[in-house]
Amino acid sequence: MLLAEAVAPASELLAESEFPGLSAAFAVEIFILAMLAATAFAMIRMRQLFGVAMLSGIYSLLSAAFFVALDAVDVAFTEAAVGAGVSTVLVLSGIALTAKRELPVDRERTFLPLAIVLVVGAALVYATIDMPAFGDPNAPANVYVGAQYIERTPEDIEVPNIVTAVLASYRGFDTLGETVVVFTAGLACLLLLGAGSIRGGGRHDDEEH
Amino acid sequence: MFTAAAAAIIVAMIIMLFRAIAGPTVYDRVLSVNSFGTKTVLLLAVLGFLMGRPAFLDIALLYALINFIATIAILKFFRYGRLSASMADMDLIRGDRR
């Protein structure tokens, strides 16, 4: 079903040759979204948790590719590093602490969560109706300071990437504050967990001998 | 030509996805996820040329690195059961060498 829907744009793409680059990228986006949906349904259906962790890694890779296709390169970087790299490992270590298989849930208990998810999803879809079109030059995000950033970055900062210029220079103090917060959080975690646990191997050795 | 390459990569991705979902053993799934990551890197590289911005190659390189590290972590987990135990085992091996 999903594949059949996704094949249709590809045949259109072969038919229209005026904008081959544009429509080919669009077909790739459709395919990525179809594979995302297929992965999500497979994750719901699967009971073996190791397989679910593997599929969540695939899901993160696919969504990162989709972010790149939508030009959100910085978000895609984060999704690839956190989603595909760290969170798969975190989920795996969570599985190591709990069970290997997911227990089946009673059918009566699934109705309320399903209803909540459907209501929230419908609300989100309703909210997207008011949003401006993708890449709309008159969208609120592009009219106020956005145009100023785009105009002034080449003279002010002389950095080719505008996102980098905004993050590192125009909002430099903001980024510095964020970095300090993240650094403090990491430092606090290390202090709470104990600095010796970084080299836990040595301590483990001492206990054994 | 890039369109044909993208289509071929997407067909390969669908096959990998099928193996990751259906794969009976753990090894099938690990291998399919690793291979899927490689296909994602290739797709990003081709997508950069399709959209007319080959600068996307940098992101493809980063994905290749992350994919490699994630596969190592998964295999380490599968070998030792948990991620922290591997350090102790490695220390024991290093101790034997001395």
Task: Give A180→chain B minimum CA distance, Å.
Answer: 25
Q: What rounded mean pLDDT belongs to chain B?
A: 78
- pLDDT average, residue stretch A181-194: 86
What's the token pair of residue B55? 């600068």
Between CA A34 and CA A111 the distance in angstroms is 26
ipTM: 0.80
Candidate from A61, A76, A205 with C-beta closest to B37: A61
In Å, what is the CA distance from B2 to each residue of A57, A88, B50, B56?
Answer: 26, 32, 6, 14
Taking each helix axis from N to C end, the angle separating B57-80 and A88-97, rounded to the nearest 10 degrees, works out to 10
Q: Does A68 touch chain B (CB under 8 A)?
A: yes
CB–CB contact A205 B88 (8 Å): yes
**pLDDT tens by residue, A92-113:** 878 877 877 878 777 788 889 8
Does the predicted TM-score (pTM) go above 0.90?
A: no
Q: Which residue has the higher pLDDT, A142 or B65?
A: B65
| Helix, strand, or coil (residue A104) | coil
Interface contacts (A, B; CB < 8 Å)? 128
Instruction: Report the candidate in A65, A162, A20, A62 with the shortest Cα–Cα distance to residue B52.
Output: A20
* Domain coordinates in residue numbering, chain A: 1-104, 128-165, 171-209
CB–CB contact A38 B62 (8 Å): no
How many domains are contained in chain B?
1
- What DSSP state is assigned to residue A85? I
Beta strands in chain A (DSSP E): none
The residues, any chain, with a CB within 8 Å of residue A25's CB and separated by 6 or more, are A69, B47, B50, B51
Are B30 and A54 in contact by the 8 Å Cβ rule? The answer is yes
What's the token pair of residue B79? 């070998």
Q: Does A10 touch chain B (CB under 8 A)?
A: yes
CB–CB contact A25 B47 (8 Å): yes
CA A84 to chain centre: 9
**pLDDT tens by residue, B34-80:** 888 889 889 888 888 887 777 778 778 888 888 888 788 778 777 77
Domain limits at B52?
2-97
What's the token pair of residue A47? 């009971």
